[in-house]
Chain A
Amino acid sequence: MGGKVTCTLGEVKNRADFIVFWGGNPAECHPRHFTKYSLMPKGKHVPNGRKDRTVVLVDIRETKSVKAADIFLQVRPGKDFEVLTILRALIKDQAVDPRQVAETGLTLEQLTDLVARMKRAKFGVMFFGMGLSMTRGKHMNSAALLTLAAEMNAFTKFVAMPMRGHGNVTGADVVMRWQTGYPFGINFSRGYPRYNPGEFSTVDLLVRGDADAALILGADPGATMPQPAIDHLARIPTIVLDPKVTHTSRLARVHITTAVTGISAPGTGYRMDEVPIPLRPALKSPYPTDEEVIRRIHEAVCAKPDWIHANGQYTTNQV
């Protein structure tokens, strides 16, 4: 259960000879990924570059990434969890009914061949995208892939990595994790962090209407979240920190324009393999950085009377 077996992209470049892309379209969404890390580069243990690598693409439709792959497996929409569960059974030599396998859009032969190749590999990587993690089953689809990668280590070295996008989302997860022990969906209302995705994750809080204020930093939920969540953001006082006008900033009460991190503000960006990269600004900006705005808000809040402790409130037994 749970857990991510992973590595850095440097290891992928130097060692990986078997690469699976699941539910993603890196040719269009991560255009430098192929050339810098996963397909083309010559690495220490893959001296011939592309020739030493086998590339499998699993998706529900043919995308531009198909051309880059050796094997393309077209899964019926919403059947990823089933395919991953079958693979988990096949690597353990369990029998699976071929007729039921056919319902996933793939044949048993295709999957047995994939399993044989996976076991033959010296270093396998599974990259997964939003086609897996944002379709029916959500976190359980990702869990299925991560578990498969973990279980493959009984046979050979195998790792899994999400194909992250949208700026510095990995950074938010990493920083939350070392500060609180949890990556997201954290509640501090009792004075200590509590983690429960589904209860405390942003989209669920907003859909249920549990929050009575929102501070949005470096994200545009107004463009991606379901309509009830967007409606709730428009109802409550929403504060947005963003360099540009977004869907969210249009429905917010307050929009603070900030400098663009990496272009006109310094900072640290986390690559999808959680390696921190320092960002050097090329331009100057008249606007304050996100960090400066948050620090000034924090200072103003600290200057207010300490009502929490004055109220006799302190951390009680952990719920």
Chain B
Amino acid sequence: MSAIVLRLKDRPAVPLEAEVISPDLLAEMPHADIRAQAVYLGKRRLRLDDLFEVEGERSDQVEVHGDLGQVKWLGRGMSRGSLVVHGNAGMHLGAYMRGGRIEVHGSAGDWLGAEMKNGQIRVQGDAGGQVGAAYRGSLSGMRDGTILIGGSAGLEVGMRMRRGTIVIGGRARDFAGLQMKGGTLVLLGGAEIRAGAWMVRGTIISLQPLTLLPTFTYACRYNPDFLRLYSRFLAPLGIELPVAAQQGSYALYSGDASVPGKGEILVWQPV
């Protein structure tokens, strides 16, 4: 079963909403049907082949090529197969995703993996804001799954996330882990101000010093046992967490007292 390959002809001038580019939908479809799928360029409904060159059929392996920075909702709600984006991806990539794998060889926009339930998203470049977050007015963000970002990320990463893992390779901007309710947020490159604001539960691990809110209280320095298990889970994904006591230890801060919450922020302190 060879992959379905889509090539974006030109970068659209206004945002293109293409939630049909999802393995679930295209997996059972003959070539002609794939070409006829509806996408929305601004308010105009167009055919998929008006904007993309389409190759292949009946496959849950989907490849998309081109600068898709203006293309929104790729892989929306997908539950199986893989979606590989060669180039940048737009907003809402993998939102409501339930399974499968998304890989982006480029950068992604805001709301990456928003409210996802399972699956894995890997972005080589940077991501926008609200990664794995809850939509406005919604009570919880991602429920499970893994989001790995090589570069930096924007505002409100992991806002109201309930479970699952987000790893940011670079620096995250303000409000990382805002109102977190569970899950784990790993900040390899640290974050700007207000990390963990209003968090109820969940864990933020930072390998760089953080400027915390005054409502977080320093608890102790230690090497938590669960991090050994956690680093074993992250190792196959190519992420290394320092756990050896001779390398250093983690400072534990608990908060956010304003909620009041039982969240924990672990900040790595090398010897």
Interface residues of A (CB under 8 A from B): 1-2, 81-82, 85-86, 88-89, 92, 94-97, 100-101, 103-104, 136-137, 140, 188-190, 195-199, 210-212, 308, 311-313, 316, 319
Contacts and interface: CB of A to CB of B under 8 A. Distances in A.
27 contacts: A1-B160, A1-B179, A82-B194, A82-B213, A82-B214, A85-B215, A86-B214, A89-B215, A89-B258, A92-B258, A94-B258, A95-B217, A95-B257, A96-B215, A101-B214, A140-B178, A188-B43, A189-B42, A196-B136, A197-B136, A198-B110, A199-B110, A199-B111, A210-B70, A212-B42, A319-B19, A319-B76
A148 to B, nearest CB: 9
Nearest to B45: A313
Given A198-B129, A199-B91, A211-B14, A86 B19 contact: no
Given A85-B198, A85-B215, A199-B111, 17 more contacts: A2-B137, A82-B213, A85-B197, A85-B214, A85-B256, A89-B258, A94-B257, A190-B17, A196-B135, A197-B136, A198-B129, A199-B91, A210-B14, A308-B43, A311-B45, A319-B17, A319-B19
B15 interface: yes
Majority DSSP secondary structure for residues of B touching A: loop
Contact of B13 (A81, A104, A196, A212): A212
Contacts of B213: 82, 85
Contact of A94 (B91, B136, B198, B260): B260
A189 B43 contact: yes
B174 A137 contact: yes
Interface string B163-182: 00000000000110011000
Given A140-B178, A210-B15, A316-B38, A198 B214 contact: no
Contacts, number: 90
Contacts of A190: 17, 40, 43
Interface in B76-102: 76, 91
B130 interface: yes
Nearest to A198: B110
Contact size range, B: 35 or more
A197 B155 CA distance: 13
Nearest to B211: A103
Pairs A-B, 6 closest by C-beta atoms: A100-B214, A88-B258, A94-B257, A89-B257, A189-B43, A89-B258
A315 B64 CA distance: 27
Nearest to A236: B13
B130 A198 contact: yes
Contacts of A95: 217, 257
A13 to B, nearest CB: 31
